[in-house]
Structure 1
């Protein structure tokens, strides 16, 4: 409230009232908003880019189901990436039957977006089979930023109409958290008893087309769909193809050629029909993943075609230089800046390994363990803006992404998802917590 001094006081009563009002008022009182109510002051939230330490007190709990990481198949795991996307002070947390939007500063759940159709997988089952969801994709929808998340659901039958299995894709505005649209895709691959064996990921988007890839829990390609986000409409469908990444104008993934045999192939994202390139050497038990924005890591760990390759998704050609240290079972993290680190975890049976390379050139920057230097590899949890977050038997540690040297020895946690405001990590109790960053 703004106070103005009167230059003339009309009698003792007026003076008394003014003094009383002054005694009760405050210079810090917020001005009224347009509706006449007192506007609440906006809290100042300090961020650190990249963060090097995390507060251990007052952590914010995220939905429990998100902490039950999927290990692939019918079990939960303590490795992997939680289905959490951080945007500023908001966490978008995907579980099989909802998208939770959480303010990571206050802990307030802003909204829970549920599928309109009956979900075939529920949060109650994640403790046993893991959370089948993946981090929501951030993309542009009609000029507005949105997150896309798919749900496996069923349209309940009525009368003589049988029930139908669908994938319900939902777009949610990141500005006001409102649902922009819902889109249904008929599926014959993922319903019934196979509901928990179906892996669905919105892998990327380009020029207004978002790509949904679907595979079974063994990685066998089932189908992929191109969704025109302006419609929304299903622009194209490819059977037996599981998209892995969208890069430039191309969608890259695995095309099934028989039982556990696949080709690496790329299609035009805009139409899904024009094939740009294909690796004619079919591969047994092929697995693929993005290794930063410019490379794809493909592995085939069994049989005569045993190989591990880093390929250019634009051409299908392998990296021109040798990348030593890559092995089957590795996962890769891109720091969003210039470094990719691929790693295996310490599962108690073998030691962790890690190799980092330049995201543009694929030049190897460092690798661990280093027996000569007396250094072990951390179990890498995430990488962001020049830092690699991991842990060893000595506790959490942060490495410089380009040099591999220890940068911080006591960060507090090893976050699996991180931005300038919070780091998200598994709690000892099994939950998922968001810890505030500090300098």
Structure 2
């Protein structure tokens, strides 16, 4: 579970990717407002599909994006979805360059955003028929006469391969809908699927004044706006999040269509986080612990007395890792029975850092480098992986962001998986 980070900025441009996002600096030339398609790859022998789940990775990866500054590498400076990556960096004119690359390193769309705009990191959506890249920009609407100036969030959709603009929606401040200050760092994408896009505007440090917007993925129509609500993610047509009706928020499930409350759950400590897992589960956490929830009912199925990051292996196991508590635990996804545990009390094995999970396989980083574990038992599987800085594993690829102590933007690489 990636604990939800407070993301950045205010630009909402939604891009329809016919093969998803990528980024990168170096020789990419971003082109103005119209995204441009990267050069066609030359004819080459057919390449077999990547191995999934990978039990190893090629030592050399393909550059697929830019991670922003090193301390942001596990946040939203780039986003992997489908078979691509979208990322953003500053070009030679100090404009923000958004670039899309496939996980195979092939260039896709590229476009720039005026540097004077407040910008959210781009986000991607992979559906059955298409892929979308989401971005977000704020505009200031000057009032006339005695009318005050107003903020507006402009949402745009583009095709990721051609850069063609699909739709644009402006979320304007009205007497009924007040927008928080749209400074850099206050607006971010939370989640998106084939039907719904969730966007958050969050004034700092007043997190309980967060506003969540739900838009239609197909045409950008604004379905609803909810005040004092912090969305965690989507499980099909259900929005999972926290409602601030008092000093302490409580967990809720809402209809993505009309924000009707489907269930109301437990009260939490301040500033909670979490993520929605596949399989009808969500891992919600606060300073007191982590709660594996049924997204349909809001009932707690298992608890961990530590703030943890959790992953579902897309098969039968949920793995949760709490770095500060030195704990790694595997649960059966149906019964929530605790299958195995590694703790700091174990004299024979270290507690590794949880990275990701694929069917039957858990990916972790140890003091000696990355290792895979058997998801149902926690036993070591592959201990001779190349010494790469894994930050995620997706279908057929390991995502790597090399460490950098300089504070300068660093590149994102995709390492093809092997058997």
1:377-423, Cα deviation, whole Å (9 max, x unpaired):
21112222322222111211111222211111122135323335432
SS in 2 for 1:167: strand
Give the distance between the partners of 2:396 and 2:274, measured in 1 at CA: 31
Aligned length: 361
Once the two structures are superposed, the pairs formed by residues 246-395 of structure 1 within 5 Å of their partners are: 246-259=234-247, 261-272=248-259, 274-279=260-265, 281=267, 283-301=269-287, 306=288, 308-319=290-301, 322-323=302-303, 325-328=304-307, 330-345=308-323, 350=324, 352-369=326-343, 371-372=345-346, 374-395=348-369
Task: Provide the residue aligned with 1:211 in structure 2.
Answer: 198
SS in 1 for 2:244: strand
SS in 2 for 1:254: strand
Between the two structures, name the one with larger relative contact order (CA 8 Å, sep ≥ 6).
2
Task: Provide the residue aligned with 1:419 in structure 2.
Answer: 394
Task: Provide the residue aligned with 1:111 in structure 2.
Answer: 109
**Relative to 1, partners in 2 of residues 1:217 and 1:410: Cα closer, same or farther, differing over 3 Å?**
farther
Deviation at 1:170, TM superposition (A): 3.8
Deviation at 1:283, TM superposition (A): 4.2
Give the distance between the partners of 2:417 and 2:162, measured in 1 at CA: 25
Structure number, greater radius of gyration: 1
Deviation at 1:355, TM superposition (A): 1.6
1:41 equivalent to 2:43? Answer: yes
1:56 equivalent to 2:59? Answer: yes
Moved more, 290-299 or 78-87: 78-87
How does the TM-score come out when normalised to structure 2?
Answer: 0.73
SS in 2 for 1:84: strand
Deviation at 1:117, TM superposition (A): 9.5
Task: Provide the residue aligned with 1:166 in structure 2.
Answer: 152
SS in 1 for 2:184: helix
Give the distance between the partners of 2:118 and 2:295, measured in 1 at CA: 34
Gaps of at least 5 residues in structure 1 are 1-38, 70-75, 122-131
Once the two structures are superposed, the pairs formed by residues 65-214 of structure 1 within 5 Å of their partners are: 66-68=67-69, 76-77=71-72, 79=74, 83-88=78-83, 90-93=84-87, 97=96, 99-105=98-104, 107-114=105-112, 119-121=117-119, 133=121, 135-139=123-127, 144-155=129-140, 157=142, 164-173=150-159, 178-186=164-172, 189=179, 191=181, 194-196=183-185, 198-205=186-193, 208-214=195-201
Give the distance between the partners of 1:354 and 1:135, measured in 2 at CA: 29
Task: Provide the residue aligned with 2:37 in structure 1.
Answer: none
Give the distance between the partners of 2:65 and 2:204, measured in 1 at CA: 23
**Relative to 1, partners in 2 of residues 1:331 and 1:113: Cα closer, same or farther, differing over 3 Å?**
farther
RMSD: 3.4
1:264-290, Cα deviation, whole Å (9 max, x unpaired):
112211112x21222364643333322
Give the distance between the partners of 2:349 and 2:257, measured in 1 at CA: 47
